[in-house]
Structure 1
Amino acid sequence: MTEPFLGEHVPNDVTRFSERIRPESTPVLSEMEAYAHREGFPIVGPDVGAWLCQLARINDATRVFEFGSGYGYSACWFARALPDDGEIVLTEQDAENLDRAESYLERLDAADLAAVEVGDAVDIASRYDGRFDIALIDIEKYQYVDAFEEIRDSIPPGGTIVADNTMSAGRDVPDDTVDFDALLSVLTSEIDDLRRTSLPEETRRHTQGIIDYLTHIREQSAFETTLLPLGDGVTVTTRLR
């Protein structure tokens, strides 16, 4: 068994508990998880992935847009819940990652669901019309507000925008991209400006992106947001009207 996909601020026992009750990963998903551990590639992990699948089932989703797909891990979880005539739009800057995503989806007999787009996710979203039942945002954190604004009118009442890394995110070490303590200090008004912290400039930029996003979505009267405290923290924003 691979090591659990622990968020830095989610207790180990919670992840162990979740592991015992969530659906098991398929062999393909387990292979993808092993690849992520081996290569240090950030993915949402099986606890969040299983929840994304369930969200798609609850919403009777037929169409999903992903802002940032990596090598297709979250898309493979979504694919388990979509009908045969469904669609997942995968976006990614790295063409090799999308080639890998297509290969995994093909092995799951889900290749026909995928529309694969190389490039900037926000720009790609602007070229798509019609309804999306779910959008997943998992790109550069300072792009989150732009992603929300680009997709919001495509989300129907009852539809959902899911944003990953809204508690923490790490690349080389935990929280070197999004700093939880700084987030909490601003959200609880202990400080009013990240420039008062000693965060590195890049960490401050991404952390500020999450602050801007959380502030922005709370101001949207047509949407309601809650937190899913698994992995690196996922906010779930549902369109009310």
Structure 2
Amino acid sequence: MSMLHTVDVDGLLTLMNPADDPILERMEDQANREGFPTVGHEVGAFFRLCARLMDAESVFEFGSGFGYSAYWMAPAIGPAGQIVLTEVDEDELDQARAYFEQGGYADRAVFERGDALEVIDRYDGPFDLVHLDHENERYLDGFETVREKVSQGGVIVADNVLHSGEAMSPADLRAVLDGARTPDEGSSLAGIAEYYTHVTNDPEFETSVIPVGEGIFASVRT
């Protein structure tokens, strides 16, 4: 359960999740078995909803692991859509490719091995939906690298922005934003605070906080 809402809300979110997919179940089993961090069921469902609401046809991910979050969005972009997965770990990228093939979505995915901040230079866009899920301290770099490649009305979603184990809590972030605390330079907390301040003051984007999973900032290009 997310620390960002109550047990009752968690139960309702579970009830309203899309029907289970056997491939997603296998991916979640792998994550549980290996202790691999994923966005989780409720965040995945939110990403799919975003893609459907905006009729997204093009998605770019900064950090894809073995493809869990990307797989959630794949059904929503349609057979003519494209989602670019990026990952520095070759084995994880191969696993993502295998899961997409098993689910029948390989034809709408591109698997790029390498640093997403370098991979994005090979794409012109525009992207309807961008997912930031690499190192927190590099979120701002990711945002600035992709911002001009986001379509009008497109969304940049940044994950893990309110809670990250013992490294960060919503109270920690609020204390930094209020000036009551100075985070360690280069830490996740410093990176998220810098990112939040930047995107909320950007005149070309409107940002909201979504309290699911470990927290999301959703920034719409206006």
- Relative to the length of structure 1, the TM-score reads 0.88
The 3-state SS of whatever aligns with 2:100 is: helix
The 5 Å alignment of 1:30-49 reads 30-49=25-44
RMSD: 1.4
Counterpart of 1:220 in structure 2 is 202
Structure 2: unaligned runs, 5 residues or longer: none
Superposed CA deviations along residues 139-167 of structure 1, whole A, max 9, x for unmatched, are 00111000000110011111000000010
Structure 1 residue 15, shift from structure 2 partner:
1.6
- Which amino acid letter does the alignment assign opposite residue 138 of structure 2? Q
Counterpart of 2:117 in structure 1 is 122
Q: In structure 2, what is the Cα distance between the partners aligned to 1:152 and 1:8?
A: 30
- Given that 1:25 and 1:46 are in contact with CA atoms closer than 8 Å, whether structure 2 keeps it comes out as no
Counterpart of 1:26 in structure 2 is 21
- Which amino acid letter does the alignment assign opposite residue 155 of structure 1? V
Counterpart of 1:175 in structure 2 is 166
The 5 Å alignment of 1:186-225 reads 186-191=176-181, 193-195=182-184, 205-225=187-207
Counterpart of 1:134 in structure 2 is 129
Counterpart of 1:231 in structure 2 is 213
Instruction: State percent identity of aligned pairs.
Output: 41
The 3-state SS of whatever aligns with 2:93 is: helix
Q: In structure 2, what is the Cα distance between the partners aligned to 1:160 and 1:211?
A: 19
Q: In structure 1, what is the Cα distance between the partners aligned to 2:83 and 2:190?
A: 29
Distance 1:130 1:194, change over 3 A: closer
Structure 1: unaligned runs, 5 residues or longer: 1-5, 196-200
Superposed CA deviations along residues 76-104 of structure 1, whole A, max 9, x for unmatched, are 11101012121110001101001000111
2:144 pairs, out of 149, 152, 160, with 149
Q: In structure 1, what is the Cα distance between the partners aligned to 2:6 and 2:121?
A: 39
**Greater strand fraction, Structure 1 or Structure 2:** 2
Counterpart of 2:10 in structure 1 is 15
Structure 1 residue 7, shift from structure 2 partner:
2.7
Q: In structure 2, what is the Cα distance between the partners aligned to 1:12 and 1:139?
A: 29
- Given that 1:23 and 1:50 are in contact with CA atoms closer than 8 Å, whether structure 2 keeps it comes out as yes
Q: How many residues align?
A: 222
